[in-house]
Amino acid sequence: MTTVHIAGAGGYAAAEAIRLLDAHPGARIGTLMSRSGAGTRVCDAFPSLPHLTQTFDDFETALPQVAAGDVVFLAADRDVALALTPKLLAAGARVIDLADTFRLEPHAHGAVYGLSERYRDAIAGANLVANPGCYPTASLLALAPLGAFADRIASIVIDAKSGITGAGRSPKLGSLFAEVEGDVRAYGLGGHRHTPEISQELHAVGITAPMTFAPHVVPLSRGMLADIYLIPRAPLDRDAILATLRRAYASSPFVTVFDDGRAPYLPALEKTNEAHLAVFEESGIIHLLSGIDNLGKGAAGQAVQNMNIMLGLPEDQGLGAVRTVVG
């Protein structure tokens, strides 16, 4: 049984991690660190977890309780991650950072990019994993296996929509229900912070075509759908791309590739670590769809998946995986 601590435990991704870890047969929840919520019970901060009466600790009290062999999820901002990571690694803990602190090259402290399906072997030997962002996860699950088609792709358009929990739990005017209800809001246009992360991983598989990334917030609590368009330089074959995705995820417990005309349905993905992919073609343009739960596969679920890989546990332990569907 591995003890798992969470730093920055007051946010939405942390709440999802607490929910998953509470039911995980190979983990026990250790300290829950929150500067703003120190002394507050979990059940009071998160009414959806009514049976958890453990209180949040402040960082100074909690850090000495981290021991060698423990796992720490960093769900705080990058400044906290930069300050805590060297101390946690020196204590012999394994660290999974849910912020964007270590995602881009060069990776400090030997961090491994935590897209589970692509970097399983490296994650298994890592002490520090940079958990991907939700937009990059949805985008890269569809695109990363397609390196063999790189020379046929003239450009890529990623049109992605996220539930409002992706904006975090700190009160902000633009995240209020009255502000987002009834709207589809484009933001971060011309330079979103996730663009370099997606580009880095596409370049790693040889895809260097120009990319346009357009994120949107939609009036959903959670969920993410990425509509991805491959504009061809030379003909792209839908069936060949579909077959490539099916091969890439044939042994993956969480990725389903539809080939029967279905598209991802976000309510089916809520509170899961699953991803659903589909491929369509029209007028020579390939249309990929990738659906995930932004708090599940896009954050806490993938963090637990990476923890399982690091600890040598079954990849789907504690995550309620369903059978893989590839057709």
Catalytic residues, by residue number, are 134
Count of C-beta atoms within a 10 Å radius of residue 123: 21
Span between the terminal Cα atoms of the chain, in Å: 37
What one-character DSSP code corresponds to residue 116? T
> How far is residue 183's CA from residue 236's CA, in Å, rounded to a whole number?
34
> How far is residue 49's CA from residue 41's CA, in Å, rounded to a whole number?
10
**Bond into 106 cis (ω within 30):** yes
H-assigned helices in the chain = 12-22, 42-45, 59-62, 78-90, 120-124, 134-143, 177-180, 195-204, 238-248, 266-269, 301-311
191 contact partners, CB below 8 Å, separation of at least 6: none
Pairing of strands 94-97, 128-130: parallel
Q: Please give the sequence-ordered ranges of beta strands (E in DSSP) within 23-165, or none if there are none.
A: 27-33, 71-74, 94-97, 112-113, 128-130, 153-162
183 contact partners, CB below 8 Å, separation of at least 6: 219
Contact 214, 157 (CB under 8 A): yes
Contact 224, 158 (CB under 8 A): no
